[in-house]
Amino acid sequence: MSIQVCAAAQSKPEIIRRTANFPPSIWGDRLMNYDSQDIITNARNQEEVEELKEVVRREVFTTSAGDFSHQLKLIDAIQRLGVAYHFESEIEEALERMHAAFHDHDFSDDGDLYNVALGFRLLRQHGYKISCDVFNKFKDENGSFKECLIVDVPGMLSLYEAGHLGIRGEEILDEALAFTTTHLDSAAKAHLSYEHAEQITQALERPLRKDLERVCARRYMSIYQDEASHNEPLLKLAKFDFNLVQSLHKNELSEITRCGGKK
């Protein structure tokens, strides 16, 4: 009797494993389809990217080196379009010169709202120490931002983005953010051009400080190509680069999917 009890005590309960009846993937086998044609297309895109990089490098960082306003705008476009990683050293050199101009008040004293705010934001983003006092000249005798600034949509957008880079104690940037948010929201509801209305809507929903680089790049391409002053080689570079990176991610997903499907 005792032997039977011991045997019963030592026996293990049977483990019943459930069958994993997972539904088929909504993606089907699309992520696994990465063929030789994709490789050929990528090679061509890579060649285009390399050629366009040299054109942009020459036009932005050599030809426009002495024109701070023009170069600031192009550097901003380069970053928004997601291709700044191709020009890191050139951007740093350009911002170093701009920082010296801000420090000597050669640029901040003469610049308009758009350029001063853009220069301030780009320099702060890259770790340069720059005082928010550069915005004092845009205030009236009562200490409020001048009402005439409201009609300057590019300037207001630039100041709005700069306002997100304030640190504790910088009241003027808090005021700038409140001022621009209020008036840009009103401007978005007015009869503006598509370009400005779209930029305002996107900026209010997700400022650059909180945006994702590749998502921002995809959205900004459609805006930038409608700008009369856009740089065509830069726009082409952004499109080729975006497609190349997208294809790279597709290839990575294809490899992961294949590995996951092996048993």
Query: Which domains are delineated in the chain?
Result: 49-231 (1.50.10.130)
Calculate ∠ Cα 188-198-204, nearest 5°. Answer: 65
Q: Which whole number is the average pLDDT over 72-90? A: 96
pLDDT band for position 218 (cuts 50, 70, 90): very high
pLDDT at 262: 56
Exposure string of 101-120, with b = 16+ CB inside 10 Å and e = fewer, is bbeeeebbeebebbbbbbbb
Round to whole Å and give the CA distance between 86 and 78: 9
pLDDT at 16: 67
- The predicted-structure confidence for 41-77, as pLDDT tens digits, reads as follows 778 888 999 999 999 999 888 866 668 889 999 999 9
31 pLDDT higher than 60: no
DSSP letters for 46-57? HHHHHHHHHHHH
Q: Within 15-87, where are the H helices?
A: 36-58, 68-80
Residue 204 is classified by DSSP as H
Q: Which whole number is the average pLDDT over 94-117? A: 82
Total-model pTM: 0.80
- The predicted-structure confidence for 130-176, as pLDDT tens digits, reads as follows 999 999 999 999 999 999 999 999 999 999 999 999 999 999 999 99
Tell me which H or E stretch contains 115: helix 113-125
